[in-house]
Amino acid sequence: MTAIPRREKLAALFRQAVVIPVLTIERLEHAVPLAKALVAGDVRVLEVTLRTPVAVDAAKAIIAEVPDAVVGIGTILNGDDLSRARELGAVFGISPGATPELLQAAAASNLPFAPGVATASELMAALAAGFDLVKFFPAEQAGGIRAIRALAGPFPNARFCPTGGIGEANAASWLAEPNVLCVGGSWLCPPAEIRAGNWAGITAMCERAMKSLKPRDR
Ligand code: 3PG
pLDDT digits (tens, 9 = 90+) for 178-217: 999 999 999 999 999 999 999 999 999 999 999 998 765 5
- DSSP-derived letter for residue 5 is P
Which residue's C-alpha comes closest to atom 11 of ligand 1? 185
Q: Report the chain's mean pLDDT, rounded to a whole number.
A: 95
pTM of the prediction?
A: 0.94
State the Cα–Cα distance between residues 1 and 210, nearest whole angstrom. Answer: 33
Say how many Å lie between the CA of residue 22 and the centre of ligand 1: 6
Summarize the confidence of residues 60-88 as an average pLDDT.
Answer: 98
Q: What pLDDT is attached to residue 5?
A: 81
| Domains of the chain: residue spans and CATH | 3-209 (3.20.20.70)
Q: What pLDDT is attached to residue 1?
A: 44
Say how many Å lie between the CA of residue 68 and the centre of ligand 1: 23
Which residue's C-alpha comes closest to atom 7 of ligand 1? 164
The pLDDT tens digits for 102-156 are: 999 999 999 999 999 999 999 999 999 999 999 999 999 999 999 999 999 999 9
